[in-house]
Amino acid sequence: MKTAMTLSQKILAAHAGLDSVSAGQLITAKLDMVLGNDITTPVAVKEFEKAGCDSVFDKSKISIVLDHFTPNKDIKSAQQCKCCRTFAKKFDLDNFFDVGEMGIEHALLPEKGLVGAGDLIIGADSHTCTYGALGAFSTGVGSTDMAYALSTGRTWFKVPPAIKVVLKNRPAENVSGKDVILHLIGITGVDGALYKSLEFVGDGVKYMTMDDRFTICNMAIEAGAKNGIFECDDVALEYLNGRYKGEIRRYAADKDAEYERVIEIDLAALSPVVACPHLPSNVKPASKLSGVDIDQVVIGSCTNGRISDMRAAAQVLKDRKVKRGVRTIIIPATNEVYLQCVKEGLMEIFINAGAVVSTPTCGPCLGGHMGILAENERCVATTNRNFVGRMGHTSSEIYLASPYVAACSAVLGHIGVL
């Protein structure tokens, strides 16, 4: 008798060439995309060469994006990027993105049509789970797993069990996907979904834009999840049509699929929230944190650097000034987003407000560059992690929020909403 499967399990079974799979089963599956960046690829290349590999499985199904310390901030980062360039040139990779072409990887790949519904994707970066927004199974792996996949186009998986997250009703004004996922992580904790699929369903899904969904799936890992995923619906199809270069394969969970837990979230009851130091699960209403003064605001990252995020920030900053003493750094996730900001006049709004705009880069999110914190400084960031020392000095503090809350806080000089 065929086993009832979740959405994630359906995709894994198809790529493993099996009629069905069940939670806990070990499988080997074919991959549609293997991703690396300037931090993780050099390690994978070293292992690739150590193993004596002399070819890649498919030069069109490998993406290398130089985004973490790019443009290079020092000699070490320059050497790492040189390693990536050499590898990409040697094997004539189709999808190599360097300065002038690159963007933040998890915004760039969907934008370029390199990932889509029904795909099985691994990336040597934990936030590879972003692409579940398109109805793909995507997850982060280590550089050694990436090395093996570069050569064979396959990898192994332990089939994850699933948690069903039911989104209900229409969200209130200024409540975004970032608020939804922070609220969920506040419920589960940072390990409450450990090695599980977070599968998002419900009538509230239709109110989640593609950018909302990218944000939600991006931070599934912050609940410990193996992946986050939405079923490919009309919203996803509209995004993929004319953009995605592969075959759209739509899967749906069986009605009698087994879930370890069901969590219901009433979107109408949510308000803008903030994750306080030093865990993404330390979630509090933004309105309750007005006494927390800040030194810096960062709006960008693979979580919230898309055009809707830029528009949300600009709507707040238009005809306003950031508070004197609050460094406000805005980082469009890709060149396409950057150009759209220029066309819509958002850059003028940002600069007139007293903010600065960076080239696309992960930059300060991981303590790389373009906004490192000194001792005892506080930052409101639209990034995904607020661990001790994540953005600089170990005594600094990071508060995670949506672009709306981040922009409001920049104007106020403390955490809050206008």
Domains of the chain, start order = 7-264 (3.30.499.10), 274-412 (3.30.499.10)
Alpha-carbon distance 50 to 147, whole Å? 10
DSSP 188-222: H-TTTTTT-EEEEESGGGGGS-HHHHHHHHHGGGG
Per DSSP, 245 falls in state -
Radius of gyration of the chain (CA): 20
CB-based contact 139:220 (threshold 8 Å): no
For residue 291, the model assigns a pLDDT of 86
* pLDDT (tens place) for every residue of the chain, 418 residues total: 578 999 999 999 999 999 999 999 999 999 999 999 999 999 999 999 999 999 999 999 999 999 999 999 999 999 999 999 999 999 999 999 999 998 999 999 999 999 999 999 999 999 999 999 999 999 999 999 999 999 999 999 999 999 999 999 999 999 999 999 999 999 999 999 999 999 999 999 999 999 999 999 999 999 999 999 999 999 999 999 999 989 999 999 999 999 999 999 999 999 999 999 999 999 999 999 988 999 999 999 999 999 999 999 999 999 999 999 999 999 999 999 999 999 999 999 999 999 999 999 999 999 999 999 999 999 999 999 999 999 999 999 999 999 999 999 999 999 999 9
Alpha-carbon distance 285 to 275, whole Å? 9
Q: 52: phi > 0 → left, psi -120 to 50 → alpha, else beta; which?
A: left
Q: Each residue of 248-298: pLDDT tens digit?
A: 999 999 999 999 999 999 999 999 999 999 999 999 999 999 889 999 999
Alpha-carbon distance 138 to 41, whole Å? 18
Alpha-carbon distance 256 to 240, whole Å? 29
Alpha-carbon distance 246 to 32, whole Å? 9
DSSP 303-352: HH-SHHHHHHHHHHHTT--PPTT-EEEE--SSHHHHHHHHHTTHHHHHHH
For residue 148, the model assigns a pLDDT of 96
For residue 1, the model assigns a pLDDT of 59
Extract the runs of DSSP E, i.e. beta strands, from 128-196. 137-140, 154-158, 162-168
Alpha-carbon distance 204 to 386, whole Å? 28
Q: Each residue of 387-416: pLDDT tens digit?
A: 999 999 999 999 999 999 999 999 999 999
Check the CA dihedral 368-370-375-381 and report its sign.
negative
Per DSSP, 293 falls in state B
For residue 3, the model assigns a pLDDT of 86
- This prediction has a pTM of 0.96
